[in-house]
């Protein structure tokens, strides 16, 4: 079974600071990787995803993530955060086996951006 770890539970940044949220996973096979964002009071929204190819993927709102296979990591980055990025961020993994593609989520990282 796969598992996902997000080591930063709470992050507080000032506007314009750079962001990097860590995500590590464990799984014996090939995986699909996702970052979802949950703004206060809203549902989970897909930020970006990696299935194959270029390990650096760009998502919406200036976010990007890099898949480093050797480190089992898929860290999320943004060079300059805004107050509107305040949200909870979830890393998720699903096995790339074309079956149910069950998502396993990390525990989430709450980001607060101070204006």
* Binding residues for another protein (CB under 8 A): 32, 34, 36, 42-46, 49, 51, 90, 92, 94, 96, 99-108
Helix (H) or strand (E) holding 62: none
Residue 43: both structure tokens together: 């549902």
For the CB of residue 109, give the shortest distance to another protein in the complex, in Å: 11
CB 36 within 8 A of CB 90: yes
For the CB of residue 56, give the shortest distance to another protein in the complex, in Å: 18
The DSSP output letter for 46 is E
Q: Which residue lies nearer to another protein by CB, 33 or 113?
A: 33
């Amino acid at each position: 079974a796969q598992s996902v770890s997000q080591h930063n539970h709470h992050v507080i940044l000032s506007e314009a600071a750079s962001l990097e949220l860590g995500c590590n996973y464990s799984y014996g096979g090939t995986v699909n990787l996702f970052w979802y964002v949950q703004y206060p009071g809203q549902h989970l929204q897909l930020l970006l995803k990696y299935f194959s190819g270029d390990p650096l993927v760009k998502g919406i709102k200036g976010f990007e993530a890099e898949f480093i296979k050797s480190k089992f990591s898929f860290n999320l980055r943004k060079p300059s955060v805004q107050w509107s990025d305040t949200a909870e961020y979830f890393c998720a993994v699903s096995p790339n086996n074309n079956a149910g593609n069950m998502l396993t989520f990390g525990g989430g990282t709450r980001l607060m951006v101070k204006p």
